[in-house]
Structure formats: C-alpha cells, structure tokens
Amino acid sequence: MRAVLVHSLFSDFDISLFVSGKHFRLYEKFGAQLIHVEGVAGTYFAVWAPNAQAVHVIGDFNQWNRSAHALNKRLDSSGIWEGFIPGIGKGELYKFLVKGFDGLEVEKGDPYAKRWEHPPKTASIVWDNDYKWKDKAWLNKRPKLNALNKPMSVYEVHLGSWQRDPSEPDRVLTYMEIANSLVPYVLDMGFTHVEFMPLMEYPYFPSWGYQITGYFAASSRHGTPQELMYLINELHRNNIAVIMDWVPSHFPGDSNGLYHFDGTHLYEHSDMRKGFHPDWKSYIFNYDRNEVRSFLISNALYWLDKFHIDGLRVDAVASMLYFDFSRKTEDAAKNEYGGSENLGAIQFLKDLNIAVYGNYEGVHTIAEESSTYPLVTHPVHNGGLGFGMKWMMGWMNDTLKYFKNDPINRRYHHYQLTFSITYAFTENFMLPFSHDEVVHGKSSMIYKMPGDEWQKFANLRVLYAYMFTQPGTKLLFMGNEFAQTHEWDFKSSLDWHLLEHAPHIGMQKTVRAINKLYVSEPALFEHSFSAEGFEWINADDARHSIYIYIRKGKKAKDTLIVILNLTPVYRENYRVGLPFRAKWKEIFNTDAKEFFGSGKLNNKLILPEKVGCHNRDYSVVLNVPPLAVTILKQGV
C-alpha cells in the first residue's frame, strides 16, 4: 500500500492570502496535483475542511479502502488537509472521505477536481489542464476586438440541445462534434460571440447546469476538459469570442458536493435566512467567509486562465445582493446596519471584478441583474460593482409586452418602447432575449407575436431589427434566429427541420443580414453605452405606431436613420425629418422578399427637400413598409 507522504504546495504567503480572501490561484494548490516529489511521480491532494476530524483519500488505487490513505492536517489554522501519494497518475478515480465535525463519514467529490465522472456517477478524476493552444493570434487582438466600443452579438447556446445526432436523438453531442458544426454555423450567421450556458459539472440535467457540484471541471457529458479546450480554440481561430455562464450565487445540496462539507456549514451560511434559496432549493455561498471568496474568485480566474474564456456572465446577481430576494421582508435576514443588502456579496462582487479586469486584458464580466441596484457597471473606485455590462431586463420585459399587443392597439402603448431610452445610458446594458424567455409556458419568440403567420414573422423581424439598432450589446438564444416554434426543450435538439420552410428561412436570413449590418456600421456600436450615439427624430407618432431615431458613430458619414412601422399598414409618402442635409439611400429593410417580406422597398436615392418636419429644416419622403424596419444611410 502506497503511504501518504507529508508534503505541501502551500507557502506561508499562500496561507495568508487564502485566509484573508485574497488568493485567486487556488487551483494551482488545492485538489489533485500531478507532481514529482524527490523524483517520484504521484499526486498531491489538498482539501479545505477545517472542522473535519479526519480526511482520507479513497479510490480505485486502494480499492476504496476507507482507512488506507489519511491526509495530514496542517499545524496552522488554515484548516487544510494535504499529502502526497506516490504512483497515482492521471485518470485515477478518487473521493475525499470526510469524517465531519458531527462524527459522520461522508464521501465528497473534490471541490477543485479538474474532471468528474459522467453523472450519475460522482467520483472525481485525477487530471491535468495540458493543452497545446493555437489561439495566440486571437488573444493578442482580443483587447481590441472585445472592447466595449466594438460590436457584440452573442449567440446563447445550451450544449445539450443545440443539435443532436438524428440517429441517436437521446445522446448529447461531444465537444468535438459540436465544434465541427457550431463554429461554421456561428461564423456563417455573423455572431461575434458565443455564450455557453454553464459548462461545469452538474448532477441534474434538468437544472441546465445552474446547480453545480464540480466548479473546476468541464462537464463530462460532452467529453474531456481538453476537448472543451478544442471547441474554444476553434471558436477563437475564427475570431469568435466565448462567454461562459458562471454561477457563484448558489449550489445544490447533493451529499457529494459542497453542502455541509466538513460536517458544518462551510461554504454556505449556517443561518438559512442567508444560506438557503427557497425558489431553487439550493444553498447560498457565505460571502462573509474569506476562504469562500478565495474559492469563487479562483474559480472565475481558472476559466479565464486555463480555458481562455473571454467573458463571464454572472448568474442571478440580484439574488446575491439582497437578503430579501424571493423572500418576505419578515422572513429575511438584515445586515449589520439593518438593511436588506448582503454586504459580503457586494464586497465579493467588487473583489471579483477587480481581480478579473486586473489580471486579464480584453475580457468582460456581465451581470444578470434584475433589480434597481445602482452603479452595477461603474468602476469600483467610483463606488460601483465593477461589471463590464448588465442585462437590460427592463427593456426586455417592456419590449415583449409591447410586441404581444395586436397592432391595432399599439397606439395605446406607444411609450412602452420609448421609456427605456430614459435610463439606457445609466449602465452598460446588454439587450437579451435569452433562454428564460422561451421556457415554462412563456412560449417561443414567434408565438409571442400577434397576427396571422405572415404578421407573426414580420413582427419578429421587426423585433430583432429594433433590438440591433438600439443602444447596447445584443444576446439571442439559439433557435430564435430561425423562429423555433416550440418552447425550448433541453432534452432534445432544436427543430432544424423548420428550415425547410420559407418563413423560417427568411427569418434566418434576416438575422444573418442584421448581424452583417451591425458589425459593418460603426453607428450601431461605437457609442453603445453613450447618449451621443442616439437621438430621436420622432418618438410621438402613436397614431401610426411609427418610431424614427438616429444612430450616430464617431463620423457624420456613418449616421443612420431608423424607421419602425409597427402596424401592418403600408404608409406611402411618409415624411421624415433629417438630421442634416444629404442624399439618403435605403441600406436595410426587413420587408425584403428574401426575408419573407412583401417587398415594399425604397430602391431609389432619396433626395432632401427644404421642407420642415420633426423640428428640422430638411426632410425626405419615402414609403414605409408594413410591420418593418427601414434603415437609411447617406447615399453618393
């Protein structure tokens, strides 16, 4: 039997950083590390379990003997158990057998394991992060291409249901298979970014990955960590950035996971008013604990470091910020000042963003934050939380409510679409139509739209064109681009067969053309978060449900005029005030026949007239197609 040798990868400085909440490379120390000690190959194990009475390593290598390999507890106050076992190599299965403070022995997965068994199996696997990356060119230009003044059109993907093998519909595709089809598809469609729903190991498939047990392990459902690296590498080689959903808000109560790790509430609050989420039946991290903050921030940097992730979309931030999130006030905890804000979580988010932006160029953090908490995307040194962007949930809700109205009634809800501009520049907003909008009885995007088949598709084309011509970055969930008819089902593939039908082909062509327009017109992205990039021409034509606005770039020649007609009435000879005197041409029209529209275009150069309109000296007359978006740019 191979003995556990006394050995440590932790210096005194490492320990001081860890216990103060400032060690952000813990993945280089904890878990299972393949090393050599005095020329002997083996694995060094380390785990944080300060209240445990004993910790053993069990696995195939010792026939899961519960007493064979006892780890040594450090003599300091760090609570770390560690030891080196010679001869254990890559691929070995293992768990930590933890005799907790309560005297019970529980088999725990390694919180820092780089790989886990395929669920429902729960063992950790000794593994490494070795990979020969070929994306140096991307990383070098990432600070420029992934900047806030560049286009960001995000395609949100659930790996288990984007596509399946028709001959084996119950099998999810591997990372390699996904790379072979997803990369060319995203490139063809013109999206600049892919956002993956959580990629870490999770036990319950219907949780979509949001109930994580293996924070440092790529989900084994799709293959090895290196195969995920290959997928990311291929996206980067095609200049497509990768965002990953990250869940530092809660974790499940699985016995092999983080919950009650050493017989005490170690990672979660012991006060269940702070430590339990009633909606998700999961446990909330104890952000007041320094070691927990070190764990989470190390995890964020791990994905940026070892997997070359370009951004983290941080899930459920509002639930972290407030003790009374989804709770009655009388059932919620209070902070030391009597308020509902979770001060530990607020400090954690600030520390997270300082660490991310301080260590990696050209990356972003994006908050899924639905409350009115101020300054989410403002720098920490100015009193903000320090995120790069925030989902604009108010815009999304108001927009979908408006579009659900029958066009004949939209005149009575006209200002539901204009309201968002009053606060659009208070944060760096991302406009999302995410997976959350097409599940749980909310219906697919196409069936949120009113009218007959033609009107539904026309409305959806308008909705997407409106989204892409508004300030802010963009996110579209998979299937929305070709008008998936069913609600999203995580258990099966998207309905790709719909692309045999003209309306769906037209929708896909529309999104492809919108993406091409978006990335080629500076007016649509150079001032995404600044009022200098947007101006109303007419926000008050409620009678006709027409909206007209200007998008501006740094140069006047890039100026665009956007006209929305949100009724099925064709408006001929409609007069539009001009931002300045120039000849104009139509560069985009969602009513084009190739998009399954009616083909009512403005094909000729549109000449200015010295006729006052919309409080402007010059104007043009054009034909405004039904349920369509028309975009004008200076002609030659």
Of the candidates 597, 512, 505, 184, which has an alpha carbon nearest to the alpha carbon of residue 496?
505
Q: Which of 177, 245, 351, 368 is catalytic?
A: 368
Active site residue 368: yes
**Do the beta carbons of residue 543 and residue 411 sit within 8 Å?**
yes
The DSSP letter of residue 9 is: -
**Do the beta carbons of residue 512 and residue 583 sit within 8 Å?**
no
**Do the beta carbons of residue 516 and residue 190 sit within 8 Å?**
yes
Residues 429, 470: Cα–Cα separation, whole Å: 11
Give the torsion sign (CA, 72, 76, 79, 80).
negative
Active site residue 92: no
The reply to whether omega before 503 is within 30° of 0 (cis) is no
Q: How far apart are the first and last CA of the chain?
A: 83
What is the 3-state secondary structure of 168-192?
Answer: EEEEECCHHHHHHHHHHHHHHHCCC
- H/E stretch holding 539 reads strand 534-541
CB atoms inside a 10 Å sphere around CB 627? 28
The size of the chain, in residues, is: 636
Q: Which of 315, 369, 437, 586 is catalytic?
A: 315
Strands 311-314 and 364-367, sheet pairing: parallel
The single-letter code of the amino acid at 232 is I
201: helix, coil or strand? strand
**Active site residue ranges:** 315, 368
